[in-house]
């Protein structure tokens, strides 16, 4: 049986669930196969569909052979077999939609004769199948954005050109040899095309597909017999591949109860290192920036420390009753930790949130001028202190995220002190006017700075991971997100299929024939 959401989240709080990968995506296996079957029609119509016609002899015995002539094959279709994670398998199927087959026997006198002639069309289509070892087959993104699955690991090809096992095996060998002599139409299976977008963080470099059986589903009498999930183990650009579980039991089943059929898990270290840190970099735009993650590689990141960087605000030009000019080139606020002076820390707190604590005191170059007077240059002191908490929320159902500040987050202190202006009689006495002008500006810039930090998360588009396997739009509708350590998104796979679903999905009806379909939803 599947776990409840809370059971799964409790386990995920114990440590990273992605096994060193940047992300793991899970799909309900039967539903994934149904989508792939429907997408077969789209694949067939968007390409030429047919491969070059095949002709050749298929020896059966010393005295008999099958001669296939102008075999016309349709587009390949992929499905995933219910198998454990350590021996994950898929099935590639094609059908003979046209052509002829001649059974030729050799008589005792040595002359050959045709003993049987078969003609094929879409109604009599015979299948060609080949098993795919997903322990060997790998996926990648080509330069042009094509998502390809290398199927060189195909084995046990069968062409159903006769009733016996030998006929099918010999036919399969013939087909496989034919395909190997052609362009890599079969050995490279095009899953989709993924166009790169500027600023998008989820840029996939490599992925592996595995199957994972649901707990208890291997027992023939079990209610969930045959149930399982398809897993994508994903590495982004610049990342390194992780490891695989030693058995089904060594990885929790990732799709929980409650009507869910898809789960996407983004690794917390990847999230902190490549996305959240990018938000800090945006805060420090225009300055050299570096940072450090705290936490062991096999553990969650506890916090991010900025080791180099500062916020530089826009120029300020203002005035007041006592000053014709109040000018700063822009607030400069350090993001690094300086003992007893500045502190900036981004940490992950127990209630599944990000917390930013930022306090400091820094001198700011400022120029003021009384009406009709000369410029007075000096250094005032800007001080600030605030703590803000963020939670991850879904922007919509397509997997785009946002960081939402909590209501109890607060700006505790913003203060502008005279600094060197205290010693200047023309600026020191009316300095309150300068402070009253600049303190709201500093508060506004600090809030805008946090908005800039949070905005980086909106460049996460988890839906892109679903286009590794599926071609359609809105393949997954995300309805829940949790941050128990790794970021987990739960949703429904192809919810539109639940509106109208019939069985069987593919059924051939001859001329004048009838069939009653069962409406499943």
Query: At residue 14, does pLDDT exceed 60?
Result: yes
- State the pLDDT at residue 266: 93
- pLDDT attached to residue 378: 92
Q: How far is CA 482 from CA 202, 478, 487, 519, in A?
A: 19, 12, 6, 35
Tokens 């508060």: give the residue. 443
User: What value does the mean pLDDT take over residues 458-479?
Assistant: 74
> For residue 187, what are its two tokens?
């050995």
Residue 136, pLDDT > 60, answer yes
Q: What is the pLDDT of residues 154-172, one digit of tens each?
A: 789 999 988 999 999 999 9
Query: 402 or 137: which carries more pLDDT confidence?
Result: 402
Tokens for 1, please give them. Answer: 């049986």
Distance CA 257, CA 520 (A): 20
How confident is the model at residue 349, as a pLDDT? 85
Place of tokens 């800090």: 280
Q: What is the mean pLDDT of residues 460-472?
A: 71
489 touches 481 (CB < 8 A): yes
Q: In terms of DSSP H, where are the helices of 181-223?
A: none
* pLDDT score, position 222: 64
- The yes-or-no verdict on residue 502 having pLDDT over 70 is no
Q: What is the mean pLDDT of the chain?
A: 86
Give the three-class secondary structure for 76. Answer: coil
214: its two tokens: 């649901």
Q: Looking at 30-39, 189-198, 433-442, 469-478, which range is the least confident one?
A: 189-198
| Cβ–Cβ under 8 Å, residues 138 and 185 | no
> Is the pLDDT at 243 greater than 90, yes or no?
yes
CA distance 365 to 381: 9
**pLDDT for 356-405, tens place per residue?**
999 999 999 999 998 888 999 999 999 999 899 999 998 877 778 889 98
* Residue 165: how many other CB atoms lie within 10 Å: 9
Q: What angle do CA 227, 518, 262 make, to 5 degrees?
A: 30
Instruction: Answer whether residue 55 shows pLDDT above 90.
Output: yes
CA 24, CA 85: separation in Å to the nearest integer?
14
More confident residue, 322 or 139: 322
In contact, 259 and 492? CB cutoff 8 Å: yes
Kindly tell me if the per-residue pLDDT of 134 is higher than 90.
no
166, HSE (Cβ side, Cα atoms, 13 Å) = 6
Q: Which two tokens stand for residue 136?
A: 């060997």
Average pLDDT of the residues in 240-262: 95
Total-model pTM: 0.86
Closest CA to 364 of 321, 330, 399: 330
The mean per-residue pLDDT over the stretch 327-355 comes to 88
Q: For position 363, what pLDDT does the model report? A: 94
């Amino acid at each position: 049986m599947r776990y409840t959401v809370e059971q799964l989240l409790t386990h995920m709080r114990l440590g990273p669930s992605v096994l060193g990968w940047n992300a793991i995506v899970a799909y309900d296996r039967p539903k994934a196969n149904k989508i792939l079957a429907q997408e077969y029609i789209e694949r067939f119509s968007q390409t030429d569909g047919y491969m070059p016609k095949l002709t050749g002899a298929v020896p059966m015995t010393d005295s008999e052979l099958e001669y296939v002539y102008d075999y016309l094959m349709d587009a390949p279709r992929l499905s995933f077999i219910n198998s454990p994670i350590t021996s994950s398998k898929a099935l590639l199927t094609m059908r003979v939609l046209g052509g002829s087959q001649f059974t030729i026997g050799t008589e005792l006198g040595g002359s050959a004769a045709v003993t049987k002639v078969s003609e094929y069309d879409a109604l009599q289509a015979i299948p060609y199948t080949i098993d795919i070892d997903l322990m060997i087959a790998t996926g990648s993104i080509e330069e042009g954005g094509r998502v390809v699955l290398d199927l060189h690991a195909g084995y046990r090809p069968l062409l159903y050109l006769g009733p016996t096992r030998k006929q099918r095996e010999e036919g399969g060998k013939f087909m496989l040899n034919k395909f190997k002599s052609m362009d890599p139409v079969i050995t490279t299976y095009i899953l989709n095309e993924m166009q790169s977008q500027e600023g998008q963080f989820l840029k996939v470099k490599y992925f592996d597909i595995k199957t994972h059986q649901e707990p208890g589903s291997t027992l023939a009498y079990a209610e969930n017999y045959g149930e399982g999930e398809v897993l994508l183990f994903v590495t982004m650009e610049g990342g390194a591949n992780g490891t695989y579980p030693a058995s089904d039991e060594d990885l929790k089943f990732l799709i929980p109860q409650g009507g869910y059929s898809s789960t996407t898990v983004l690794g917390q270290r990847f999230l902190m290192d490549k996305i959240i840190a990018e938000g800090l970099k945006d805060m420090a735009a225009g300055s050299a920036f570096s940072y450090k993650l705290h936490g062991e590689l096999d553990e969650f990141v506890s916090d991010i420390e900025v080791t180099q960087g500062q916020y530089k605000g826009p120029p300020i030009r203002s005035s007041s009753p006592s000053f014709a000019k109040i000018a700063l080139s822009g607030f400069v606020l350090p993001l690094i930790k300086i003992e007893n002076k500045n502190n900036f820390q981004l940490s992950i707190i127990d209630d599944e949130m990000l917390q930013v604590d930022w306090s400091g005191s820094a001198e700011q170059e400022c120029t003021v001028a009384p009406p009709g007077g000369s410029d007075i240059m000096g250094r005032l002191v800007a001080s600030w202190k605030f703590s803000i908490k963020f939670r991850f929320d879904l922007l919509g159902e397509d997997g785009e995220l946002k960081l939402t500040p909590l209501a109890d987050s607060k700006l505790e202190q913003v203060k502008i002190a005279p600094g060197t202006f205290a010693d200047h009689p023309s600026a020191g006495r009316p300095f309150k006017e300068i402070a009253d002008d600049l303190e709201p500006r500093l508060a506004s810039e600090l809030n805008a700075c946090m908005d800039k930090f949070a905005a980086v998360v909106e460049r996460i588009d988890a839906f892109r991971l679903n286009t590794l396997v599926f071609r359609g739009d809105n393949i997954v509708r995300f309805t829940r997100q949790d941050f128990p350590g790794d970021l987990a998104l739960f949703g429904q796979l192809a919810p539109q299929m639940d509106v109208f679903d019939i069985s069987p999905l593919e059924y051939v009806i001859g001329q004048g024939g009838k069939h009653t379909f069962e409406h499943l939803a």
